[in-house]
């Protein structure tokens, strides 16, 4: 893949960089994406598994599905795409990562400046008290799991029909509203409000780069669309950034 000098110039370490990721970044770790031919939403009905109504009607079924996904993720490792993004956090003093993924792989790769805007599937929330705890049992000991107070625990993720966490959203708007460079990786860019972040960044005057294995609805908006696998394109991009700015900030 050809990466132009102009593109690498946009990645000066003095820039405020935001990376926005979706399921595609974890695809090469063996974690299924949601849309596309092999996507989860081809095989499962979202309304039966990822809505508050689904959980009210059949918490066991919902938890069996999440338990299955936790099993896949527990076996998975961060891939070179995750690692490249973790290294970027070290290179750019002003760096932020917003991910729609609930798999926790970015943290495992080493990112710490991160908002998991759709939650995290290793966290469980009491439906009565709202308390959140971590739980790494695979498989879960009880399905559905319950809180000490007797109420059900649910995955601490955002379901369809639910609002995003207010603080996470406000912080995301903040960093998007101030960034110089937005790198969008492996998202179909159709789920709101995250799908509108690239347009917000563009309006603010940021340079937009997309990495995806195929064109998406934002491809016509971005300044550079890099078609390829995140696990290959991101390490190549990082290599050139390091070469261009070695020893300089
Ligand atoms: P999608 O499954 O909608 O999109 C995955 C994107 O990744 C597609 O555009 C693929 O072309 C791309 N892709 C796949 N493999 C790739 C690879 N190896 N390298 C680069 N790109 C690759 O996933 P999201 O956009 O993350 O929401 O979906 C957004 C939200 O919809 C999810 O967070 C989830 C889902 O329903 C909730 O659960 C609330």
Q: Taking all residues of the chain, what is their mean pLDDT, rounded to a whole number?
A: 96
Intervals of CATH 3.30.1600.10 along the chain: 37-75+127-157
pLDDT bin (cut points 50, 70, 90) of residue 117 is very high
Calculate mean pLDDT across residues 148-164: 97
C-beta of 194 in contact with ligand 1 (< 6 A): no
CA distance 204 to 29: 34
Does residue 1 surpass a pLDDT of 80?
no
- Ligand 1 pocket, residue 70 CB under 6 Å: no
Q: Which residues of the chain are in CATH 3.40.50.1220 domains?
A: 5-31+78-118+163-245
Task: Judge contact between 15 and 220, C-beta under 8 A.
Answer: no
Instruction: Out of 165, 213, 231, give the residue to mutate to test ligand 1, the one with the largest number of ligand atoms within 8 Å of its CB.
Output: 213
Which atom of ligand 1 lies nearest, measured to the CA of 21?
A: 26
Strand partners, 208: 182
Q: What is the pLDDT of residue 246?
A: 85
Mean pLDDT, rounded, for 131-144: 98
Question: If pLDDT is split at 50, 70 and 90, which confidence band does 83 have?
Answer: very high
Q: Would you say 102 and 73 are in contact if contact means Cβ atoms under 8 Å apart?
A: no
Tokens 């946009």 correspond to: 10
Span 189-248, pLDDT tens digits:
999 999 999 999 999 999 999 999 999 999 999 999 999 999 999 999 999 999 999 866
Per-residue confidence band for 36, with pLDDT thresholds at 50, 70 and 90: confident
Long-range contacts (CB closer than 8 Å, 24 or more residues apart) made by 224-231: 224/4, 224/7, 226/1, 226/3, 228/1, 229/27, 229/28, 229/81, 230/24, 230/25, 230/27, 230/28, 230/79, 230/81, 230/185, 230/186, 231/28, 231/79, 231/80, 231/81
The confidence score (pLDDT) of residue 42 equals 87
pLDDT at 32 over 80: yes
User: Smallest Cα–Cα separation from 117: which of 191, 17, 49?
Assistant: 191
For ligand 1, whether the C-beta of 24 sits within 6 Å is yes
Pairing label, strands 17-21, 132-134: unpaired
Q: Considering the entire predicted model, what is its pTM? A: 0.97
Fold (CATH) for 37-75+127-157: SIR2/SIRT2 'Small Domain' (3.30.1600)
pLDDT of res. 249:
55
What confidence score (pLDDT) does residue 37 get? 84
> Token pair for residue 92?
């750019």
Ligand 1 atom, smallest distance to 230 CA: 19
The pLDDT value given to residue 148: 97
Where in the sequence numbering do the catalytic residues fall? 118
What class has domain 5-31+78-118+163-245?
A: alpha beta
């Amino acid at each position: 893949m050809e990466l132009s000098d102009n593109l690498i110039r946009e990645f000066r370490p003095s820039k405020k960089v935001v990376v926005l990721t979706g399921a595609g970044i974890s695809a090469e770790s063996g974690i299924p994406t949601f849309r596309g031919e092999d996507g989860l939403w081809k095989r499962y009905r979202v309304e039966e598994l990822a809505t508050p109504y689904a959980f009210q009607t059949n918490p066991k079924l919902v938890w069996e599905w999440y338990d299955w996904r936790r099993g896949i993720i527990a076996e998975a490792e961060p891939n070179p795409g995750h690692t490249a993004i973790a290294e970027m956090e070290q290179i750019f003093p002003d760096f932020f990562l917003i991910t729609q993924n609930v798999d926790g792989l970015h943290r495992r790769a080493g990112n710490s400046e991160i908002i998991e805007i759709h939650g995290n599937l290793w966290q469980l929330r009491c439906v009565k008290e709202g308390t959140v705890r971590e739980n790494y049992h695979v498989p879960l000991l009880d399905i559905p799991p319950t809180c000490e107070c007797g109420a059900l625990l649910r995955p601490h993720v955002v379901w369809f029909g639910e609002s995003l966490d207010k603080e996470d959203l406000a912080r995301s708007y903040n960093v998007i509203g101030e960034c110089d460079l937005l790198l969008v990786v492996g998202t179909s860019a159709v789920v709101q409000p995250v799908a509108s972040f690239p347009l917000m960044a563009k309006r603010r005057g940021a340079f937009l780069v997309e990495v995806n294995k195929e064109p998406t609805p934002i491809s016509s908006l971005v300044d550079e669309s890099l078609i390829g696998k995140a696990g290959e394109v991101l390490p190549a991009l990082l290599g050139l950034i390091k070469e261009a700015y070695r020893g300089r900030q």
